[in-house]
Structure 1
Amino acid sequence: MADHHTHGEMDTTEQEKTYDSFIWFVSRGTIAIIVFLIFLALVGA
């Protein structure tokens, strides 16, 4: 583990990339589910 003695000194680049990927995945998944539900409503399944 790295030694961090000063607040705000840690490199958070990887955490930010992971968070951005997570938000992208969740938003696209939500859109896909909504589109699928609309499709089911229109088809009448």
Structure 2
Amino acid sequence: MAEHKHGTMDISVQEKTFAGFVTFTVRFCIALALFAVFLAVFAT
């Protein structure tokens, strides 16, 4: 079995994926909040 040394794995792809996920989640939550405000103001 190969020896594993902590901290030697390249995680740049995982970091980019996570950053994209966080960006998407934040933008989606903002869009939902704006949609809820739109419905509260204009829906009868």
TM-score, structure 2 as length reference: 0.88
Q: Which amino acid in structure 2 is aligned with residue 6 of structure 1?
A: K
Q: Which amino acid in structure 2 is aligned with residue 22 of structure 1?
A: F
Percent same amino acid among aligned pairs?
Answer: 42
TM-score, structure 1 as length reference: 0.86
* Higher RCO, Cα 8 Å, sep 6+: 1
Supply the RMSD in Å over aligned alpha carbons. Answer: 1.4
The answer to which of 4-13 and 32-41 deviates more is 4-13
